[in-house]
């Protein structure tokens, strides 16, 4: 894999090397985004989706800055423009999917991209303290947590705790996992936007955007469904 002239790996070169090896498709958003305070919720969501288009097309822009430079810029503070509630699935690397660099997206991850009290608190922190302008609930195709919930599968340990959060969204999917993934995203998005007074107020007073999308593991594209 190629190195820079200084002997240090750069993020762009890393991805280029991966692409050459036949495993390209990883991405993160452009480093030159507007400051969160100047963005509308709709604009923040558009930035996310534009980054996903670059990801799906294999046109990465977020690796232009060296990793050490990015770290130096975010040591003392963070100013993410958006928050994403994603499934914990390892095939959904959020910053890469949206072609975003360090410090741009405030990410919460849990199996089934469900809204629990802890997740709600984290998203509220993103809105009230960090000033994110959009929150995206992100489900994905072939989700194991959704599949297990739809099938009512017996699972070990505490995994079944997820079911109580998933069933309201998937119970009417009639065994269709793809439909259940979409239904769960719609349910969790509504729950996040309506059950939190902090987020609901930010939506009303500041134009914060709350949306839901489904990431296709095969194509790399995110489709907005809520």
Q: How far apart are CA 40 and CA 48, in angstroms?
A: 13
pLDDT of residue 27: 33
Are the beta carbons of 133 and 81 closer than 8 angstroms?
yes
What interhelical angle do 177-195 and 197-206 show, nearest 10? Answer: 80
Quick check: 49 and 82 in contact, CB under 8 A?
A: no
User: What is the predicted pLDDT for the residue at 66?
Assistant: 67
Domains of the chain with bracketed CATH: 11-224 (3.40.1050.10)
Q: What is the pLDDT of residue 163?
A: 95
Helices (H), 129-176: 144-151, 163-170
Write down the pLDDT at residue 36. 59
Each of the 226 residues of the chain gets a pLDDT tens digit; together they read 333 333 333 334 433 443 333 333 333 333 344 445 678 999 999 999 999 999 999 998 888 776 777 778 888 899 999 999 999 999 999 999 999 988 999 999 999 999 999 999 999 999 999 999 999 999 999 999 999 999 988 899 999 999 999 999 999 899 999 999 999 999 999 999 999 999 999 999 999 999 999 999 999 999 999 9
pLDDT of residue 143: 97
Residue 81 φ/ψ, nearest 5 degrees? -90, -15
Q: Does residue 136 sit in helix, strand or coil?
A: strand
């Amino acid at each position: 894999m190629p190195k820079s002239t200084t002997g240090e790996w750069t993020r762009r070169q890393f991805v280029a090397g991966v692409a050459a090896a036949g495993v390209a498709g990883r991405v993160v958003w452009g480093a030159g985004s507007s400051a969160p305070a100047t963005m509308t919720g709709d604009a923040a969501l558009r930035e996310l989706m534009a980054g996903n288009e670059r990801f799906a097309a294999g046109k990465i822009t977020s690796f232009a800055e060296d990793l050490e430079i990015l770290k130096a810029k975010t040591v003392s503070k963070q100013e993410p423009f958006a928050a994403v509630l994603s499934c914990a699935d390892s095939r959904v690397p959020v910053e890469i999917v949206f072609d975003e660099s360090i410090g741009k997206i405030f990410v919460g991850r849990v199996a089934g991209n469900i809204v629990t009290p802890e997740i709600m608190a984290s998203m509220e922190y993103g809105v009230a303290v960090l000033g994110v302008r959009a929150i995206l609930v992100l489900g994905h195709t072939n989700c194991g947590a959704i599949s297990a919930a739809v099938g009512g599968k017996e699972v070990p340990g505490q995994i079944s705790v997820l079911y109580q959060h998933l069933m309201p969204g998937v119970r009417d999917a009639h065994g269709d996992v793809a439909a259940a993934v979409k239904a769960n995203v719609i349910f969790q998005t509504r729950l996040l936007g309506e059950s939190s007074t902090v987020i609901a107020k930010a939506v009303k007073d500041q134009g914060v955007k709350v949306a839901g999308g489904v990431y296709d593991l095969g194509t790399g594209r995110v489709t907005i469904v809520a």
